[in-house]
Amino acid sequence: MSIEPHYFVAISLPDQLKEHIAAAKQALKHPFPFQRWVHPDDYHLTLAFLGSSSPDQLQLLADHLDKKFCKSDAFSLQIDQLGIFGNCTRPRIFWLGVKQEKKLTSLRNKVYDECEKVNFKLESRPFHPHITLARKWKGESFPIETLQQKNPFVHKDVSFSVQSIGIFQTHVNKEPKYEKIHTSLF
């Protein structure tokens, strides 16, 4: 039985930042034992989950994104915190956050508008920009009190430039599991 592909719109991270995060991840694996750590090539910042789609709908979205963002200005984001989603003692997701940036929120809102114009049904939960590092806690009770103490990014200026967005396809049984199928340059 084949699994229907799913898609999302996201910001890719530069290769140098992916390498930096992957190196820092090694220091996080011991104090934070999660079952599955994300492959470095899969690091990204999701703007909109699209779910399944037809090729025609994806192409229409790509055309809309290209037109909407072709004259946009690049902007920078800064890595700042570690966090979790799910139960505080047994979290589902371990993530790396970025500092609040109005340009990022505006970008996300514009992406949502374009997705809705081509009839994607999107989530309504609040936007919490993050880069997923790992999934499924496997240790004892999660050491929430040490989260920021163990943060390898806390006293460093780790930033990157956002110059494009992409449409990605998920390949559940591959690693890396995300394939960029379209890029909209600013």
- Residues annotated as catalytic are 44, 130
> How would DSSP label each residue in 136-161?
EE-SSS--GGGTTTT-TTTTS--EEE
Residue 178, number of CB atoms within 10 A of its CB: 23
Which residues, in sequence order, are CB contacts of 3 under 8 Å at separation 6+?
172, 173
For the sheet with 6-12, list strands across it. 44-51, 6-12, 164-170, 178-185
Distance from C-alpha of 139 to C-alpha of 31, rounded to nearest angstrom: 9
Which residues, in sequence order, are CB contacts of 58 under 8 Å at separation 6+?
7, 167, 181, 182
**Do the Cβ atoms of 150 and 104 come closer than 8 Å?**
no
Bridge partners for 36 per DSSP: 135
Distances (CA, A) of 26 to 22, 73, 104, 133, 172: 7, 34, 28, 11, 24
